[in-house]
Structure 1
Amino acid sequence: MRISGKGINLLKVREALRKQKMLSGYELCNRNLLDGSAEPIMIHDESTVLYVNTAFVHMMNGFSPEEYTGKFISELFAEQEIADKISYAVERLVIRTKEVTVEVETIRLPTIFHGEPAQLIMFREIFSQRKTEEELRTVKHLLHSVVENTSDGIVIVDRQGCVLQINEAFEKLHGWKQEELVGKVMPMVPDFLLEEAKQIHAEVSSGKIVCDFETYKLRRDGSIFPVSVTVSPLKDSVENIVGFVGVERDITQRRTIEQNLRLAQEELATTIREQQGLIFKYKRINDQYILTLCDGELLYRFGMRPEQIIGKNVWDILDGKETLDFLVHYKSAINEMENVIFEGSFNGITFISSLRPIIQDGIVVEVIGSCVDITERKRTEIALQESEERFRHLVELSPAPIIVYGEDYSILFVNGAAINLLAATIASELIGKPVNQFVHSDSVDSFCVEIKHLLTESNPSNTIELRMVRLDGSILDIEARGVPIKYSGKKAVQFLCNDVRDRKIAEETLRESDRRYQMLLKLSPEPAIAHDGELIVYANDAALKLLGAESREELIGKSLLSFFHPDCQDAFRETMLLVKETDAQLSLAQAKLITLNNEVVEAEGSSVYVYKHLNVPLIQTVFRDITERKRTEEMIIRSEKLSIVGQLAAGVAHEIRNPLTTLKGFTQLLKAGKRNDAYIDLMQVELERINQIVNEFMVIAKPQNVELQQHDLYKIIDDVIQFMEMQAIMSKVEIRYNLIENVICICNQDQLKQVFINILKNAIEAMPSGGNIEIRMTCTEDSIGIQFFDDGTGIPEEILTRIGEPFFTTKETGTGLGIMVCHKIIEAHHGTMQIESELNKGTQIKIVLPNVDHSTEI
């Protein structure tokens, strides 16, 4: 339809538009896109405006949308008239409104509007682009102004803690001037808080932000005042931490306010006691409902006092039946996280109780409740008879919209919620109206069939979705459930409705979130695979590279288990079961993967149950290639072994020299013809001794197979003691031990021997003047403990905290890798290693390993 001419009657225009046939689905979709566009858009024919969107009205700021419809376009444009132009022509125009002239650029497109040819113009305001740079300069100025004028003290320091810059508020807060602090470490931390400051520095150095941390600071005059501190890392363009930014706020006034708050709380407690009702609070602790607050006049009329019941379980206070009735509501308030109101009776008093859950981080931490005595009101209500009016009253007050249809499909009754739902003001605007006036044409036929079915059947219907047309013409998506009833003695159908607009929006938001999730997963630098059980559903680009695939099609549909080394497949199956049971992310676990190129890759993997990817619950497993890291660790272990070999070489040589001397003497006797079988027996014993020493020495020197097997831990420790005994004797050290025989451990005996040798060697070196080493073993159902005690020089506290760091050593010839390697070996055995030491009193090392009964978890 084309509209032209001056003096258009807008009412007639709207009436004419309403008489036109319904827009097609395609046109309706385009119309929705235009309405929601952020670009100003106008549609016109040769002379008349047919349509403008909200963005156009906002740009013009001159008329309402209705005033533009039917207006001559020559009235809007100041410099030139609108005429048919070539499609996609870009030109500058000047549009005039009531009081404003707007300079714009336009793009023209041919279109169809209500079945007629028309022109669509998209506008872009030139003036807004010119404003951008000015606004940017303004923002920078404001930022500088905020930093300089804020009441919070701001300080910037480098990684060593030297001050780079402070603002004026910081100077006022502490009393120092900027020139007194720049280039120096801040002297603002009280001595008793130095350790706390070190911990904060360590956290921020790791990249964390410490927010609103309350502590105390020093002023120049030596006074101490409370502050709230926020410290964040300062990073350069490549995300390296180059310094720290601290923001301090004086909270002296707040502390005063807190003191006043405590006084107010005391006054509140008095008020609660004096009020006529009853106020209480409770928590769920170990499935018991423990009262944490209870006071009020009603409590005393119940015959109780606060000190008698606070801290006790409800079960201990009330009779059994009453407790069960109350616990239903108490559980509902906590489990459903909803407000609960119920009536109860205790000691002859009827009351109404209201429960309101207090929710923090999505968890109900406490419930606050109140009780009001309604004994007299209840007596009055009991005297009243149940009636239809009461039912009607309840229905009208229902928060759920309720609509009752009669046999002729017309509305018989609506409650207040339904009146609001259909955009009416009073019920008379809806009563008597046919179903097709408020049900969209897409749904009216199926809805009438549902009403007919309910009028003939006695069972409620299933929940159905409908599109309702409100009085203002807007479309509303609802869910409804029909129930056949009697209304004024006749058959009718009552529909309980529920507005599902918010749910629709939430579903769309979920779909958008799913799309973003998949994009993030695809671009993630960590190899990630989504799988349904063992079946691969999706793999990102990094996963393709890890498994040696060139396209996703090579992986999708295959079993992820087939890429695991046979030794790791059982552990992977158990992990998948555990992920589904816990629905939580599991920590990293090591595994061997076999790529499509038959290469073995050492990797760490972590799995979590996710609800993405077309709403199908999947497991997402993220891998990390640790092949190079494993090789490095093996080289470090080998290096440490060679270091130990070099240091023990002298002791081994001395140990071998003694049996060699015996062998040499007996050989000379035999050569002289003095043959004696006893000589041969002694020579065999000494040869066996040499062989044992050489074998023990080779355990340390050669690369070892890291396969874990069952070994007798007693024998492993006994072998190490024999191996180290000569070095201990040479150093005047006595090794005492209390071991338990036949203790079976799942381990690599060569690696454990390396750990024990390293510990004994360090203990011997810590006692240059001699001393004692004591070894104890304990065994429980779950674990095996081995403890080493020496009475050497001990380790200072500042050095003890660094023990185990790579290449940190106090020895002139040490590598700094020994203890680190020991830690790695014990961790590989799923054990723990702890070192305790006190200067001049000795050192204790405790190793805990899993017992053989739980070895299947290793």
Structure 2
Amino acid sequence: MEKPTINILMVDDRPENLQALEAVLESSDYELIKAHSGEEALKWVLIREFAVILMDVQMPGIDGFETAKLIRARKKSQQIPIIFITALTQTQDYALSGYSAGAIDFLFKPFNPFILKSKVEGFVKIYISQWELQKKNELLLRRSAELDRANSQLKKSESIARAISETSLDTICTVDKSGNILSVNQAATTMFGYKEDEFDHLSKMIPLFQTQSLQASSLKLMFETTANRKNGTSFPVEIQLNQIIEADQDLYVCSIRDITERKNQLVQLEKLVEKRTEELRVINTHLQREIQEKLEMVKFAQISEEKYRKLVDHSPLAIVVLELGNNKWSFINETGIKMLGGTTSNDILSKDLLHFVHPDDHGLVKDRLMKISKGERVGTVEEKFVRLDGEVIDVEVSLIPFDYFDNPAVHIVIRDITEIKRTQEYISQSEKLSVVGELAAGIAHEIRNPLTSLRGFTQLLVHKDETTSNPYVPIMLSEIDRINTIVGELLLLAKPNQEDFRTVEITDLLHTVIILMNTQANLHNIEIKFACEKHSKSMIHGLENKLKQVFINLIKNAIEAMPSGGEIVIQLTQFHDHISIEIKDEGCGIPMDILSKVGQPFFTTKEKGTGLGLMVCKSIIESHQGTMRIKSYKNNGTTVILDFPILTQATNSDELIHT
């Protein structure tokens, strides 16, 4: 028997999801049809027969539930099994909505490919069994129709033969309306055992005519009854009566056929049909039992899978399964998806493992996987991962070997320690700044005393000896002033006195700084633009001169970063509890490898820089309970973002309250 074409319809508006389904179900026995919407799926159902339909629920246009209802409304397609695949929810009401729409089963993303494949194979077997049963029924009906046609043709042929030939094997006799036999053919003597002159009345051979008149029987031109032979035996016959009128006398041509053999054939055929029907009934019983067993197996697998998935998905740690021998993820839980910046599991599973590992740690990862494949134990280590959005995070990774569907694999547990590392770094930097501030105050005090004497005596020598033409004196005075400037910057590292803090209006302060810096900016062909909300007053608690120094230093750095000119944009935005100030330039930017070092003591990229400018700015900002962030890309400008807590009016007083 020929094999049916196994068509499987996959409906999903996302091409990557269709590609994943195609990879799972790919087989030479299946023809996989892809539809990207509910409308396209309905078109396919009109032109093809499908063993099973895999359908996404959430789609633009006609969703999965509505599409299923339309498929069920069509008589030819209402029996097609539909498996919904969804990532929306797993509630009972949602599932009931799917089943009322015509679903046979549900799979929730991310689904287990082996379970999906097993379910599809089960429905395909059901489809093949139904197809074979239908073909056998069609064959039986075709054979019966052929037999009926042959029987009808035989009857017609026999009727013609009896009418035109006396050599027929059927008994042909002529009788009058009373049933008296007028003539018989030679076949009659063979059939009934009478001699030709012993045929007198039709009822002698056909008992029916003992109680029924010939005229009444003639209404049935052809019928079956029982005949008797001379020896007393009976047999089934088929009688055909044709009325003829001869010399104003009603005569009948009676054709009698022995149908014993045909009856035997019909009996045998009935027995054959009954036997075949019983076989089909048994096959159907076995098929129903297999279907029930498959459904119970699928139900059990769903319950086990659901319990394990809930345990894994609600884990606070990222859990990943990696099959050894390739660098592809086989499974990742929801925590891992969010940690790596994905929205669905396909965002992660479709990429190579090393895609998420920082290049500096590639060698470490490969070495640990090699040890695991050799059966060696490896401990927990810290690594750097790269999220999909490019952000680098610090993680703690543990590797546990195990078998995944009879294949050697690694159970990977990942803990995000980025915030812990940042907290440790912040504490370390704060301690450094605190120590530097204390040292700065002491060093500045001790240095400025001798500087005063040096500068005073140098000026006195100039005045006394009139050595103004001496080229070394201006150099000495310049270097003494430079030392004094550096000492002044060191003093700024010392923690300011909170008693000196006052209310500062940032908008006016920025206007003042911009006016002050415009002259220097114009000399470098640079325009400073300031953007803020009209009529807004942004008040903070701080030291006006210190804050002014921060803005001047940052704008000066921006000017120096643009030797060819450009724009500096200062944006002030007020939020509910803080204000944000962005200073953005169009300069050369800061390379990623040194951006993290900016603001550290004595680190500078300038030829004559001291490495204290940004460190001083950072110290002043933190003393105002503010923060400073720097975003920069090489050859693409730098943006410095400052955040300060704002002051709000008290409810029953004119005092400003720090939020």
Structure-1-length-normalised TM-score: 0.22
Higher-Rg member (1/2): 2
Considering Cα pairs closer than 8 Å and 6+ residues apart, tell me whether 1 or 2 has the greater RCO: 2
Between structures 1 and 2, the one with greater strand share: 1
Structure-2-length-normalised TM-score: 0.29
Between structures 1 and 2, the one with greater helix share: 2
